[in-house]
Each structure stands twice: as C-alpha cells, then as structure tokens.
Structure 1
C-alpha cells in the first residue's frame, strides 16, 4: 500500500511539470520592413532572442514568433493529495501545496 502512495505522489510531481503553452507566430506585414522582434497581445515588442516573463508566463522571442509557457500549473492538471490544496501567488508567479487543515504547512509527499 505504501508503494501505491509513493507512486501517486510521484505521478503528482510529474503533473506539476506540465503547463499550458501558447505560440504567437511572427506576423510580417511589410516584406520591405520586417519586424525586429515579437509583439505580445498588448502590443509590446521584444527583441529576437530575448526571454521575458509576461503574466506569469515564461516567454521567448525567436524569428518564428513568441513562445510562452505558464509558470503556474492549472489545478486541473495537477494531482493534489486530498488533504492538500494549491496556493497561488500571481504577483510572485509561484505556487505551493499546503495542508488544507493548516495552510502554514507545506504538503509532504514522502
């Protein structure tokens, strides 16, 4: 029974690595004046080769476009033990799993 618990916890840790990603292809409007970087949905431009954090998404700008992956997994994609809950801090772009009974204590998988 203990090995099943360890397996489920490891599976949950693997799920933490999964995150939502998106890709915004480079838009070339004028072939005589090609873009010098990528543009996000707010119109802000980033140089090719740059890596930035936008709305808790880790993004990189390439000649193909802007590629971004969420730094915080969705609760739907994470296997959270029943006694735990996910606390998200969007200002710090971080999260932690804590005990529901005492959110000052982080969940222990082992």
Structure 2
C-alpha cells in the first residue's frame, strides 16, 4: 500500500510541476544497518516521508528513494506561443507567461 501512496504522490508532483523530475533509487549498502532516510544533494540526511524545497525543486524521501521535481517550468517543457515569453522568478519559485510586446500583460494565447 505504501508503494501505491508513493506512486500517487510522485504522479501528482509530475502533473503539478509540468517540468523535469528525477528519481534516485535508495541503495542499501549494509543490510544489518539499513538507511533511515535519504541524503539530499547537499549531503543532508532526510527522514523517510519528509518533503522539502531546495533550489526551486520539490523533493520527497521514501523507502524507495529520493524524488525531486522542478517547480518552475522552462521553455523546453511548456509550449510557449510565438507572441509570448516565459518569465521565471527563482526567488519565489514561480513563472508566468507574458506578452513579448508588453511584459506587464499576461499572455493569453487563443
């Protein structure tokens, strides 16, 4: 049942972020001393079931491994109409599509 919950969570992340994700499978080096969580890219130990955001990536640690998805879509993962431009704000981990001719106006392609 836990695997189904992890799958549903990961699927939700993919749908919500509309951008690239990665999964790093948990490796067990010593069966007598199994890991108690995941190690993030900064070397910090994260408990199983924990969620966090770092560098605009939403991450989750499960007994299967570490999964992270970008919270900000990029032009490679989103269809951007010719008259629009994708503006990214890494400080708030957000983005919006604006008109190339007037960046103050949101782009509403037909």
TM-score, normalization: structure 2?
A: 0.77
* Residues paired across the two proteins, number: 96
Report the CA distance between 1:98 and its aligned residue.
0.6
Alpha carbon RMSD of aligned pairs, Å?
Answer: 2.0
**Paired position in structure 2 for 1:4:** none
Flag structure 1 segments of 5+ consecutive residues without an equivalent. Answer: 1-15
Report the CA distance between 1:72 and its aligned residue.
1.2
Name the CA distance, whole Å, in 2 between partners of 1:17 and 1:65: 19
Name the CA distance, whole Å, in 2 between partners of 1:100 and 1:38: 42
3-state SS of paired residue (1:91): coil
Structure 1 runs (4+) greater than 6 angstroms displaced: none
Task: Map 1:23-102; keep pairs closer than 5 Å.
Answer: 23-102=23-102
User: Which one has a bigger Cα radius of gyration?
Assistant: 1
3-state SS of paired residue (2:97): strand
Report the CA distance between 1:21 and its aligned residue.
0.8
Q: Which has the higher contact order (CA 8 A, sep 6+)?
A: 1
Name the CA distance, whole Å, in 2 between partners of 1:79 and 1:68: 22
TM-score, normalization: structure 1?
A: 0.77
Report the CA distance between 1:33 and its aligned residue.
1.9
